[in-house]
Chains A and B, each alone.
Chain A
Amino acid sequence: MGPLFPTGAIGDELNMLIGFIIGIGFGFLLEAAGFTNTRKLAGVFYGYDFVVLKVFFSAAITAAIGLFLMNHYGLIDLNEIYYPKTFWIPTLIGGFIMAFGFIIGGFCPGTSICAAVTGKIDAMIFVLGAIIGIVGYAFTYEPLWEHLRGTGKMGKVDIAHWMGISDGTFILIMTIIAAITFFAITVIQKRVTAKRDYQL
């Protein structure tokens, strides 16, 4: 049956429209959950607020379980779903850069745009920085980044196959890790907030 767009069940226009509606919903919920507040994101790194970690971890697991079960019962064909090839070295470097951006700026790409729209000046500057980064990367791609981009090539892999275990087992392991993490971060959060009086 699905995915709707790659199998041709819906056209370009409807695809864009659905994306637009989901995008608005996503932005609205980011704002409603307070993610446009920089302290919310930075809190993960300082240990006084783990909501962001909880949300993205549980979202990833919900999506994994949902996609897996839908694939199993024939509602969606996972082979048709796009995921990019893995290049682990540039991914690792990019991950570090992004993490520093998170700590310093207090936004992720999604929340920065939401926050900019709500009128936060720091978010507008953050978005401007992101644009400068994108343009800068594009113009210096050939001399500086082209080689790095292709290093650590692993092809189209997912972790479960790479580790040689079934998808279901991997999901179960990740969920148990998530449950333990949720418990651990609750303890950490309590200790950190007890020591200092952080205000959101």
Chain B
Amino acid sequence: MKKIDVLYVGIMLVGAFWAFIVTSNSEPISRVTPCKLVDIIAQSDKYISTDELARRLMSDDPTLTLIDLRNKQEFNSYSLNGAINIPLQDLLNKQYVDIINQDVQTVIFYSNSSDLAVKAWMLTQRMGYSNNYILKGGLNRWVETILRPEEPSATATLADYEKYSFRKAASAYFGGGSVTGESVSKKPALHIKRRKKAAAGGGCD
């Protein structure tokens, strides 16, 4: 072989070794490294309270996307208005990427408690997605605090009473209070627009 041939083969081998080495630690660079993930978990403000959610829902905040992580059956029996049902195991499906990976909407995960939402939130952080939050306490706390708020004791502070009066108002708004939460009419979830991709053409030599 000529010298130049040896050089070309050498360059190809270097490239191939490079490709081989980057697959052996096969984490794509776009994902968050474990070290960074620990930082994110420790620092960020990942919870949203039921009061905050109620306030935003009552002011018809259009930037809110609610994601119900429970299964379809539970979702159909009761859920929050306008929520999208994405069972946790389907969360990373390609069809939902546009919902959870964007920086316009505030995405709020919830299930009956916080458990599934925490898992979902961890997954999205791992993928490097932002603007995802957990509804603290999930639907159980939603019912406890918003739909059926408890009257504070006589010795409670003024702030507690203010919170109570807000919750009572919210309860009336969401059809809770002494009433059960069943009468909530379901608003259809927003239609999700996806980027339309042009079909790639085929070719040969």
Contacts and interface: CB of A to CB of B under 8 A. Distances in A.
Contacts of B16: 61, 65, 171-172, 174-176
Nearest to B22: A72
Contacts, number: 90
Given A168-B20, A168-B24, A74 B198 contact: no
Contacts of A176: 13, 16
Contact of A169 (B13, B23, B201): B23
A6 interface: yes
A58 to B, nearest CB: 6
Interface in B1-38: 1, 5, 8-9, 12-13, 15-24, 26, 28-30
Contacts of A167: 19, 23
29 contacts: A3-B200, A6-B199, A7-B197, A8-B198, A58-B8, A61-B15, A61-B16, A62-B12, A62-B15, A65-B16, A65-B18, A69-B15, A69-B18, A69-B22, A72-B28, A74-B28, A80-B200, A81-B200, A82-B200, A84-B202, A108-B205, A109-B204, A109-B205, A110-B205, A166-B23, A167-B23, A176-B13, A176-B16, A178-B9
B200 A186 contact: no
Interface class of chain A by DSSP: helix
> Which 5 residue pairs spanning A and B have beta carbons closest together?
A168-B23, A175-B16, A82-B200, A65-B15, A172-B20
Contact of B197 (A6, A66, A182): A6
Given A69-B22, A167-B23, A179 B12 contact: yes
Interface residues of A, number: 38
A57 B5 CA distance: 13
A189 B19 CA distance: 31
A139 interface: no
Given A65-B19, A69-B19, A168-B24, A178 B12 contact: yes
B22 A74 contact: no
A68 interface: yes
Nearest to B15: A65
A73 B30 CA distance: 8
B53 to A, nearest CB: 35
